[in-house]
Amino acid sequence: MGNFADFHARSIHDRDAFWAEQAKWVDWKVQPQQICDYSHPPFAKWFVGGETNLCHNAVDRHLAERADQPALIFVSTETNQEKTYTYRDLHAEVQRMAAVLQDMGVVKGDRVLIYMPMIAEAAFAMLACVRLGAIHSVVFGGFASHSLASRIEDASPKVIVSADAGSRGGKVVPYKPLLDEAIKLSAHKPGKVIMVDRHLAAFTPVAERDVDYASERAKHMDAVVPCEWVESTHPSYTLYTSGTTGKPKGVQRDTGGYTVALAASMPHVFEGKPGGTFFCTSDIGWVVGHSYIIYGPLIGGMATILYEGLPIRPDGGIWWSLVEKYKVNVMFSAPTAIRVLKKQDPALLSKYDLSSLQALFLAGEPLDEPTAKWISEGLNGKAIIDNYWQTETGWPILSICNGVEKAPSKFGSPGKAIYGYNVKLVDDQTGEELTGANQKGVLTIEGPLPPGNLQTIWGDDARFVKTYWQTVPNKLVYSTFDWAVRDEDGYYFILGRTDDVINVAGHRLGTREIEESISSHPNIAEVAVVGVADQLKGQVAMAFAIAKDTSGLTDLAGRIKLEGEVMKVVDNQLGAVARPSRVFFVSALPKTRSGKLLRRAIQAVAEGRDPGDLTTMDDPAALQQIVELVKA
């Protein structure tokens, strides 16, 4: 056990020595000659001159010691399948997939787009790509053809790997028609489409283009496909951001820096040990899935659970039953999933033996206090660790790092800046650094961004510089576009996105603060607050809330009563300036498929504007409800 403050300070002030040490977690074919080249800011190159391979580090290197240990545990409550692949099995499957990709002409540097449900073949495809030095671009399965088409155009893949269908809540979701339509819409056409046929939805293959994975795989049962050693800076993959605030950005990741960052995070952040089991409930279409369903746990020699299904089917105990069955040590999920579970019978939590579990990590959106308390009590005081990051960063920026030094969590805070991150809060108007406690500023990172972070936006260096590095006046710093404060102990609290700040008669208010306040009313389950243009005050807050008990809301009087109570709570906690002009009650809130509130769309609709790019929205009916309420 060390001292976290020292560990962090060394990562910044003795940067190269610190990361040279971390690089030892990784197998290199050729050792790096230079740890960090930051001669052309803001473009950072990590472990320059080094050669490695992500698939080697995730799979092959473990064969000597743990060939017969579980590596990938595929569980589908949609198709009732459950299969464990040892490291030996995984090695064989990845080489079969790699051989098929090679047959399709895939070589180092080619892009391969993966549009798949949460099945084992999706993991094989990702690992096979990086094995060959090909650049994968996973697109969240079930995205509509329009969003898929724009990503196909942007990544211009030689090959697409897909499947006939996904399944959600027991309902088959055909992928093939969406894919065919997307390819039709896209100016770029892939040479081949590899189809994994799950026999869920019948389809007609396109002649000359579509190939059946099962028959191709059968030709390569004994495939031996060596890892292609690539330069550390060689791109491993591209991945699009969630699209919460607008057009998604194609984040480009390197190989060496990413491998080192994930390898080091396993002991330091997650306390994951080789031979243990990691269960990340995200989706491979998101960054959390890339880093902590696939690469992180495997690099760390752990078994990883790939789960297809809902958290509440067959019942709300399914995840905990998997924790018991596979002796999960580290679990990773999102607040939105915990809020779903919160509506279930709490007895489901005590039904299973969860003694193997060390900690539950949560990321992706603010972890509100009621949800944090609920899960913390439900898990009997086990560590609940909120961590804050972005698609761009590839691994957490803020967290408690119990693997370096045990530290308590604080409700509402994702903890401190992680080693490698030189986090600064700055004034958005002047760019001045805010060094005092409890000052509100934009959370920025001083360059070079640490290993594992984005190298650039795919094919658009100018957009990378302009989007992230030129928004704070007088300074070249990376902006996260999130507001935060830091308390006297160095714990950060995220207050919301910079474009979620409301300016009411000259007072700047974070929508998050108002949401927290409204959530403290005992009958509010969830709420979204947006700023709406107002002639008199510039902007006013407007709230859309989901009530826990809706029996009192069937008539106008009941709604007015609860609205009044909510307003009073805000008055008392934050003052009258923060009081929402209206509180509307809805049954669902519009979210992205990764569970993030689409405030941008709610705000547009509340102001009577067009909601813009909605390609990543999950449930259109939720937004429609708001359209109608506001119109009335």
Q: Which residues bind ligand ATP (CB under 6 A)?
A: 241-246, 248, 363-366, 386-391, 414, 480, 482, 494, 497, 594, 596
Select 241 or 539, whichever has its Cβ closest to ligand ATP: 241
Nearest distance from C-beta of residue 362 to ligand ATP, angstroms: 7
Start-to-end CA distance of the chain, whole Å, equals 60
Nearest distance from C-beta of residue 443 to ligand ATP, angstroms: 9
- For residue 442 the two structure tokens come to 């934009």
Q: 427 to each of 325, 430, 474, how far by Cα in Å?
A: 49, 6, 11
Select 32 or 595, whichever has its Cβ closest to ligand ATP: 595
Nearest distance from C-beta of residue 499 to ligand ATP, angstroms: 9
Nearest distance from C-beta of residue 146 to ligand ATP, angstroms: 16
- Cα–Cα distance, 559 to 470 (Å, whole number): 45
Select 248 or 452, whichever has its Cβ closest to ligand ATP: 248
Let me know the angle formed at the C-alpha of 283 by 383 and 309, rounded to the nearest 5 degrees.
Answer: 90
Helix/strand/coil for 271: coil
Select 91 or 596, whichever has its Cβ closest to ligand ATP: 596
- For residue 323 the two structure tokens come to 């924790």
Nearest distance from C-beta of residue 293 to ligand ATP, angstroms: 15
- For residue 478 the two structure tokens come to 């990376």
Hey, which residues does 278 pair with through a beta bridge? 304, 330
Nearest distance from C-beta of residue 394 to ligand ATP, angstroms: 10
- Cα–Cα distance, 461 to 466 (Å, whole number): 9
Hey, which residues does 51 pair with through a beta bridge? 30, 231
**Alpha-carbon dihedral angle through residues 52, 56, 62, 68, given to the nearest 10 degrees:** 180
* 8 A C-beta contact, residue 296 and residue 261: no
Nearest distance from C-beta of residue 481 to ligand ATP, angstroms: 6
Helix ranges (H only) for 195-251 are 213-218
Tell me whether residue 608 is exposed, middle or buried, using C-beta atoms within 10 angstroms of its C-beta: 0 to 12, 13 to 18, 19 or more: exposed
* 8 A C-beta contact, residue 424 and residue 405: no
- Cα–Cα distance, 582 to 564 (Å, whole number): 9
Nearest distance from C-beta of residue 286 to ligand ATP, angstroms: 6
Nearest distance from C-beta of residue 328 to ligand ATP, angstroms: 21
Cis peptide upstream of residue 448 (ω within 30 degrees of 0): yes
Select 322 or 360, whichever has its Cβ closest to ligand ATP: 360
Select 365 or 428, whichever has its Cβ closest to ligand ATP: 365
Phi, psi of 170 (to 5 degrees): 85, 0
Select 95 or 453, whichever has its Cβ closest to ligand ATP: 453
- For residue 215 the two structure tokens come to 């028959």
Select 414 or 420, whichever has its Cβ closest to ligand ATP: 414
Nearest distance from C-beta of residue 246 to ligand ATP, angstroms: 6
Nearest distance from C-beta of residue 496 to ligand ATP, angstroms: 8
Select 247 or 313, whichever has its Cβ closest to ligand ATP: 247
Q: 185 to each of 40, 194, 250, 396, how far by Cα in Å?
A: 38, 19, 19, 36
* 8 A C-beta contact, residue 59 and residue 130: no
Select 386 or 526, whichever has its Cβ closest to ligand ATP: 386
What pairing do the DSSP bridges indicate for beta strands 303-308 and 70-76? Answer: parallel
Helix/strand/coil for 206: coil
Select 53 or 480, whichever has its Cβ closest to ligand ATP: 480
